[in-house]
């Protein structure tokens, strides 16, 4: 009878431990999901600014059609990205396209002096900073989650209940520097 009580207590402790670990993994996953949602909010803000920026530059440099089309195409691709890796790749392309757009704008002093252009430039700089902060928060939440998923004993529960590792939101070496927007 004593062995039966010991076995039942041991099973209850094991079940309680699994429940606690499972709940911790759910909290960490939800924190990473929330952090990604914040990145998404900032990216959406960026997507809203890009058409206004393109239209403003287009008014001064209408012959730069290829540049405008590249920015528009890159924005559309970024909006349609469905995974963290795809989003990161699309954002790299969009960042490069915006950099080329600002390079075109540098050739037009009257554009640089435009109040509308300067406001858009300031909003974009602010948004780029917000994206960087949101990306860091997401990557920190992902690090915590991945550490839990990959270390003992939580990796046992993670494997049993299908908690896969999450990808980081990284940028390519070639676009690590923010586009130059000084005028």
The C-alpha atoms of residue 19 and residue 103 are separated, in whole angstroms, by 56
Is the separation of the CB atoms in 142 and 32 below 8 Å? yes
Q: Please tell me whether the overall predicted TM-score, pTM, comes out greater than 0.95 for this model.
A: no
Reported as type and span, the H/E element at residue 14 is helix 2-60
The residue written with tokens 């909006």 in the block is 79
The C-alpha atoms of residue 32 and residue 24 are separated, in whole angstroms, by 12
Per-residue pLDDT of the chain (183 residues; tens, 9 = 90+): 899 999 999 999 999 999 999 999 999 999 999 999 999 999 999 999 999 999 988 888 888 888 899 999 999 999 999 999 999 999 999 999 999 998 888 888 888 788 888 899 899 999 999 999 999 999 999 999 999 999 999 999 999 999 999 999 987 755 545 455 444
């Amino acid at each position: 009878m004593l062995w039966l009580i010991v076995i039942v207590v041991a099973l209850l402790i094991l079940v309680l431990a699994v429940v606690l670990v499972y709940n911790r993994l759910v909290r960490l996953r939800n924190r990473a999901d929330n952090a990604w949602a914040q990145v998404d909010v900032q990216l959406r803000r960026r997507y809203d600014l890009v058409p206004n920026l393109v239209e403003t530059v287009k008014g001064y440099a209408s012959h730069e059609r290829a540049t405008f089309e590249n920015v528009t195409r890159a924005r559309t691709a970024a909006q349609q990205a469905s995974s963290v890796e795809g989003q990161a790749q699309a954002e790299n392309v969009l960042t490069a396209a915006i950099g080329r757009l600002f390079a075109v704008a540098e050739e037009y002093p009257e554009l640089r002096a435009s109040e509308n252009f300067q406001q858009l430039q300031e909003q974009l700089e602010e948004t780029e900073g917000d994206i960087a902060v949101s990306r860091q928060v997401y990557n920190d939440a992902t690090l915590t989650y991945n550490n839990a998923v990959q270390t003992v004993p939580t990796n046992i529960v993670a494997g049993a209940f299908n908690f896969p590792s999450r990808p980081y939101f990284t940028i390519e070496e070639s676009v690590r520097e923010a586009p130059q927007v000084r005028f």
